[in-house]
Amino acid sequence: MNSKVYIETFGCQMNVADTERAVTGLRKAGYEMTSLPNEADVVLLNTCSVRERAERKVFRRVSELRKSPRHPVIGVMGCVAQLEGSSIFQRASAVDLVIGTQATDRIPSLLARIRDGEESVLDLDERQEGEVWDVSPAERRSPYVAFVPIIEGCNKFCSFCIVPYSRGREKSRGANEIVAEVQQLRSLGYKEVQLIGQNVNSYRPKTEDGLEGYAGATAFSRLLRAVAETGIERIKFTTSFPRDFHPDIVSAIEEYPNLCNWVHLPVQSGSDRMLKAMRRGHTSADYLRRVEIIKSSSRSLALTSDIIVGFPGESEQDFADTMKLVRDCEFDGLFIFKYSKRSRTPAANFDDAVSESDKTARFLALEELQIELQDKTYNRQVGRALSVLVEKQSARSNEDVSGHSTCNKVVNFKGNTTQRGSIVDVLISEAKPNSLYGTAISG
């Protein structure tokens, strides 16, 4: 069989990792992949449902694909598939296949059912015993940096968030499997692994297999040590959940230089009233205690976060509390979102919506503050040497290359693309709003 498959991926790094896994399975089953939707026999849309706008985009895309003269089999996979299920067939009759978030490994057998004449094939079942995360190196999006999922799903049920419904409950991968994957990546020449999951530090595998012998207060900090022992050059992890952020994570980073000096710890608001309404399970004081531990580390840890402005009921005072927390934390980076209602989440029924104009005003005020603070945090890097993994030619100049530091900042410096994949020490000479510039002093 020589059917060609095209996959379009929307959303977060978990979806990128799922696409890599889907492609691995499809190739094993004899499918060819194509980067051209027009020549595909099968088109799969790997979807995101975090925002309603993203969901609408999927249906627009299906109606465009329907017009393709090749009449490909159209499948919807990912979060929209899991949430909308069979209603997708009613809403978009051109869709042949709906693949839930835990059915990625079963795509070849679902396509076989369509080939055998079945219509409207749906699989929203859980992952089956024995289905392992299997990603062929050839399918990874980068030859130097690999995403390694360690946990999927979420049990936290923040009131604004759809993820627990679209990705299901938390399920952790066994430590042995994760460590073996990292060892394999290292032997293939990968320089960096990013351990990913909705909440990596809620990692709780079914057994201790692979974690025995590692000291640590939580399964996650033991896993960090086990992965660090593989000797891979750089390890990053994201995203961390504040309530489960144990100080021992910082201790592990201090023990192992290959655990990178960056923590992404979303706070979402600086107001305790809003944090309660968001059902985050932490207060601003709890969060600041963790920040204190992170900031006092000898590793100069970079700290980034997410904030939602304009959550239902957010008053000027609540927003002032957020501004204060941001000033106190001096984040190295901040993703700011204007709250948008996500149907089927508890917050969708909350009264007291904040007007669009207030949301925009708060967004801009917070952005301005972050620019001012980031100018300080970035300028502190001037005169320091940062270790940079070279990833590509810089977008701004043919003479420069660009990569990320261990503290996850974009660094540009004079170099050439033969350096791609190498780790270079760069002396920082200039701070720009979202990147640093410097000169190579090694490599």
Positions in the binding site for ligand SF4 (CB under 6 A): 154, 156-158, 161, 163-164, 198-199, 241
Q: Shortest approach of ligand SF4 to residue 108 CB, angstroms?
A: 29
Instruction: Output 266 or 403, the one with its CB closest to ligand SF4.
Output: 266
Instruction: Output 10 or 59, the one with its CB closest to ligand SF4.
Output: 10
Task: Give the CA distances from residue 88 to residues 62, 92, 120, 345, 348, in Å, rounded to whole numbers and listed in that order.
Answer: 11, 6, 10, 19, 22
Q: Shortest approach of ligand SF4 to residue 64 CB, angstroms?
A: 30
Q: Shortest approach of ligand SF4 to residue 133 CB, angstroms?
A: 19
CA 331 to chain centre: 19
Q: Shortest approach of ligand SF4 to residue 267 CB, angstroms?
A: 11
Instruction: Output 157 or 335, the one with its CB closest to ligand SF4.
Output: 157
Instruction: Output 158 or 389, the one with its CB closest to ligand SF4.
Output: 158
Q: Shortest approach of ligand SF4 to residue 59 CB, angstroms?
A: 23
Q: Shortest approach of ligand SF4 to residue 279 CB, angstroms?
A: 8
Instruction: Output 34 or 155, the one with its CB closest to ligand SF4.
Output: 155
Instruction: Output 304 or 377, the one with its CB closest to ligand SF4.
Output: 304
Q: Shortest approach of ligand SF4 to residue 158 CB, angstroms?
A: 3
Q: Shortest approach of ligand SF4 to residue 241 CB, angstroms?
A: 5
Instruction: Output 155 or 435, the one with its CB closest to ligand SF4.
Output: 155
Strand partners, 148: 195
Instruction: Output 239 or 370, the one with its CB closest to ligand SF4.
Output: 239
Are the C-beta atoms of residues 408 and 302 closer than 8 Å to each other?
Answer: yes
**Contacts of residue 354, Cβ cutoff 8 Å, sequence gap at least 6:** 310, 311, 312, 313, 314, 339, 362
Instruction: Output 199 or 305, the one with its CB closest to ligand SF4.
Output: 199
Q: Shortest approach of ligand SF4 to residue 413 CB, angstroms?
A: 35
Cα 328 to Cα 323: distance, rounded to the nearest angstrom: 9
Instruction: Output 161 or 226, the one with its CB closest to ligand SF4.
Output: 161
Instruction: Output 185 or 303, the one with its CB closest to ligand SF4.
Output: 303
Provide the token pair at 37.
Answer: 């939707």
Which single residue is written with the structure tokens 């979102």?
337
Are the C-beta atoms of residues 331 and 373 closer than 8 Å to each other?
Answer: yes
Cα 79 to Cα 54: distance, rounded to the nearest angstrom: 11
Q: Shortest approach of ligand SF4 to residue 239 CB, angstroms?
A: 7
Q: Shortest approach of ligand SF4 to residue 256 CB, angstroms?
A: 26
Provide the token pair at 195.
Answer: 């351990």
